[in-house]
Amino acid sequence: MNPLPEHPDVLWRNPEPKRSYDVVIVGAGGHGLATAHYLAKNHGITNVAVLERGWLAGGNMARNTTIIRSNYLWDESAAIYEHALRLWEGLEDDLGYPILFSQRGVLNLAHSLQDVRDSVRRVEANRLNGVDAEWLTPDEVKKVCPIVNTSQEIRYPVLGATYQPRAGIAKHDYVAWGFARRADEAGIDLIQDCEVTGFITDGDRVTGVRTTRGDIATGKVALCAAGHTSVLADQLGLRLPLQSHPLQALVSELLEPVHPTVVMSNAIHVYVSQAHKGELVMGAGIDSYNGYGQRGAFHIIERQMAAAVELFPVFARAHLLRTWGGIVDTTPDASPIVGLTPYANLYLNCGWGTGGFKATPGVGWCMAHTIAHDEPHPYNAPFTLERFVTGALVDEHGAAAVAH
Amino acid sequence: MQLIECPWCGRREETEFHYGGQAHVAYPADPAALTDEEWAHYLFFRDNPKGLFAERWSHSAGCRRWFNAVRDTATYRFHAVYRPDEPRPVSS
Ligand SMILES: Cc1cc2nc3c(=O)[nH]c(=O)nc-3n(C[C@H](O)[C@H](O)[C@H](O)COP(=O)(O)OP(=O)(O)OC[C@H]3O[C@@H](n4cnc5c(N)ncnc54)[C@H](O)[C@@H]3O)c2cc1C
Ligand SMILES: [Zn+2]
C-alpha cells in the first residue's frame, strides 16, 4: 500500500476572482478540475477560472464509491472509459501526487441465465475493444474473492461473473487535490464559495457569468456541474434530457483486510469494495424520484444491506458507520452528454449518472480538447446532445455492467 | 422512509409506491405532424426543477391506481396529491 502524502503548507492558492477569463469552468468537482489541468497541460490555456459554489470537490466527487473500470458494452463507451483507465494508470506520475490507485479488479456477478448471456456477450465485446475481460465460473469467483457466497441455495445464486483485472479504486479526495494542485501551479484560479447564478448572453454567445461574487466576463464557458446542470441550463433557456436523483452510499467501521477486489451485482444491486483504511464501501442504485436533497430513502439502504449480507455472510457482524447521498444527473440512454451546445462558446459535460468518477481523467482530457478546438475529441464525439433527436443513442441501460 | 398520501387509500409508506416521473406530459395531438426535434422533446426531455415539481406516482402495492403530486425536489415534501383528471393545484 502507498504511504499517505506529506502535508504541504498549501495545496493551492485561494485567489479573488478576476473580472474576466478566457475560459470559465463551472463546478470544481473531479471533472472541472481535470478539465482545467488538461487545458493547461495539453493546450497551454491557463487564463482559466474554476468556479465552485461550495468547497473544492465537495459534490459527488467527495461522495462516490470510487469504482474505476472500462468494461462497457458499446464501442463508444468502451473507448472513452478505456481512454480514462489508461490515463489513471499513469496519473500518479502526471500529477506528482499519490492517488492510491489500486488495480484490484472488479467482478460483475451474474444471477440468472439472462445475466450469464449478457455477461458473456459483454466479455467478448470488451475483448474486441482491447479491454481486458474474462468470464469466471462460481468456483473461479471464489478464488478471486473468497468471501463471496457461491452457494447455489441462496435466493439469487452466483452463476458466474465477468472479471476485469485492470479495474479498481482510487482515493477520490487525493485525485481531486492532485488535479487542483497541478491546475493551480499552472496559474489557473480555483475559486471556492462562488456560485454561478446566471449568464450574460449576446445572441448565440455567452459573454459572462453572474456569480455570488460579481459578474465575470469570459470567452468560453464549460458546465461541469454534475447533478445541478439542469438548474444552470434553465437559466439559459436550454432544456436538457436530464433527471437528477439522489444516490446513496455507506461505509462500515474499519475492518481487517477481508475483501481483495471490487464486487458489483446489478440484479440485486449492491456493490462493495474495501477502502485502503479498511472500511467496507457500499453503494446501490439511485432513489427512484427526482431530488436535489443529498439524502435518500432508508428502504434503499435496507434492501442493499440485505443483499450484501446474503452475498457476503461475513459482513453480518459489521457495523454501519455512516451513510450519505449525492445528486446524480441521469439521461434516457444512461450515457453522458459531453460536447457542444446551441450556444457557440458553451460546452456541456453532464449526465454521468452513477458512474462518472471512473471517467475523471478521460473526460477532463476530452473537455479540454473540445474547449480548445471548439469541436469534440473523437472520444466524446458520439456523446452529443443531438443524439436524442437523431436517434444515435449510446444505450448502455440494458448493456452496461450495472444500471445508472 | 416517508408517508405518501394516495388520493384513494390515504397515507401509506413510500415503499408501496412507484415513481412515474413528470406529470401532465400529453401525447401529441397530431403525431404525424411532429418534427424529429418535437418527437425527441416528447420522448426524452422532461423538466428537472430544484423546487416544486408536478409528477406521477402509482400506488402499486395498494389500489394500483396512478395519481399526481406536487412535491418539492429539494426538501422531498409533498405539497399536494390529486387525481389524474384534476388540474395541478396552485401551490406556493
Ligand atoms: C453515492 C455515489 C456513488 C458513486 N459511485 C461511483 C463509482 O463507484 N464510480 C464512478 O465512476 N462514479 C461514481 N459516482 C458518480 C460520480 O461521483 C459522478 O459521476 C462524478 O463525480 C460527476 O462529476 P464531478 O466529479 O465533476 O461532479 P461533482 O463532484 O458533483 O462536481 C460538480 C460541482 O459543481 C458544483 N456546482 C453545481 N452548481 C454550481 C453552480 N451554480 N455554481 C458553482 N458550482 C456549482 C458542485 O458544488 C460540485 O462541486 C457516484 C456518485 C455518488 C453520489
Ligand atoms: Zn391507493
pLDDT in tens, A64-123: 999 999 999 999 999 999 999 999 999 999 999 999 999 999 999 999 999 999 999 999
Q: Please check the confidence at residue A332 and state whether its pLDDT lies above 70.
A: yes
Q: Please write the tens of the pLDDT for every residue from A346-397.
A: 999 999 999 999 999 999 999 999 999 999 999 999 999 999 999 999 999 8
A296-309 burial: b if 16+ Cβ within 10 Å, else e: bbeebbebbbebbb
Note the pLDDT of residue A403. 58
ipTM score here? 0.96
Q: What is the pLDDT of residue A62?
A: 97
The whole-number pLDDT of residue A10 equals 81
Same-domain check for residues A161 and A247? yes
Q: What is the pLDDT of residue A184?
A: 98
Do A177 and A211 share a domain, yes or no? yes
Q: Which has the closest alpha carbon to A96: A205, A177, A187?
A: A177
Residues of chain A with Cβ-Cβ distance to B36 below 8 Å are 389-391
For B3-82, give the CATH class: alpha beta
User: Both A350 and A391 in a single domain?
Assistant: yes
What pLDDT score does A318 carry?
94
Q: Look at residue A142 and give its three-state secondary structure.
A: helix
pLDDT digits (tens, 9 = 90+) for A125-134: 999 999 999 9
Q: What is the DSSP letter of A318?
A: P
Q: Are residues A182 and A314 in the same domain?
A: no
Sorting pLDDT into bands at 50, 70 and 90, what band is A266?
confident
Nearest by CB to residue A241, choosing from B44, B74, B75, is: B44
Res. B20: pLDDT tops 90: yes
Q: Tell whether the model's pLDDT for residue A209 goes beyond 80.
A: yes
- Residue A333 pLDDT: 96
- Look at residues A311, A330, A349 and tell me which one is the last residue of a structural domain: A330
Residue A160's contacts (CB-CB under 8 Å, 6 or more residues apart) are A109, A110, A116, A119, A135, A136, A137, A138, A140, A141
- Among B15, B22, B37, B50, the residue to mutate for chain A (most A Cβ within 10 A): B50
A32 pocket-lining for ligand 1 (C-beta < 6 Å): yes
Q: What's A322's domain CATH number?
A: 3.30.9.10
User: pLDDT tens digits for A6-29?
Assistant: 666 688 999 999 999 999 999 999
Domain boundaries, chain B: 3-82
User: How many domains does one find in chain A?
Assistant: 2
* Structure confidence at residue B92 (pLDDT): 56
At A43, the pLDDT band (50, 70, 90 cuts) reads very high
pLDDT tier, A401 (very low <50, low <70, confident <90, very high otherwise) = low
What pLDDT shows up at residue A404? 54
A84, part of any domain: no
Q: What is the CATH number of the domain that holds A364?
A: 3.50.50.60
What are the helix (H) ranges across A72-185? 75-95, 113-128, 138-144, 172-185
Q: Tally the C-alpha atoms within 13 A of residue A44's C-alpha that lie toward its C-beta.
A: 0
What confidence score (pLDDT) does residue A269 get? Answer: 83
Q: Select from A128, A324, A346, A340 the least CA-distant residue to A222.
A: A346
Kindly give the distance from the C-alpha atom of residue A251 to the centroid of ligand 2, in angstroms, as a whole number.
36
d(CA B81, CA A133): 49
pLDDT, residue A96, reads 96
**Same domain, residue pair A287 and A195:** no
For residues A176 and A157, state if they share a domain. Answer: no
Containing A273, the helix (H) or strand (E) segment is strand A270-274
Cβ distance of B45 and A388 shorter than 8 Å: yes
How many angstroms separate the CA atoms of B69 and B84, rounded? 9
Residues B59-70 have pLDDT tens digits of 999 999 999 999
Residue A4 has pLDDT above 80, yes or no: no
pLDDT, residue A1, reads: 57
pLDDT in tens, A289-322: 999 998 889 999 999 999 999 999 999 999 999 9
Residue A185 has pLDDT above 60, yes or no: yes
User: Are A146 and A209 in a shared domain?
Assistant: no
Q: Is the CB of A49 under 6 A from ligand 1?
A: no
Is the pLDDT at A402 greater than 90, yes or no?
no
Give yes or no for a contact between A226 and A404, defined as CB atoms under 8 angstroms apart: no
Same structural domain, A250 and A288: yes
Confidence class for position A341, pLDDT limits 50, 70, 90: very high
- The residue segments making up the domain with residue A337 are 20-65+172-242+332-400
- The verdict on the CB of residue A357 being under 6 Å from ligand 1 is yes
Q: Is A224 in the pocket of ligand 1 (CB under 6 A)?
A: yes
Is the Cβ pair A239, B50 closer than 8 Å?
no
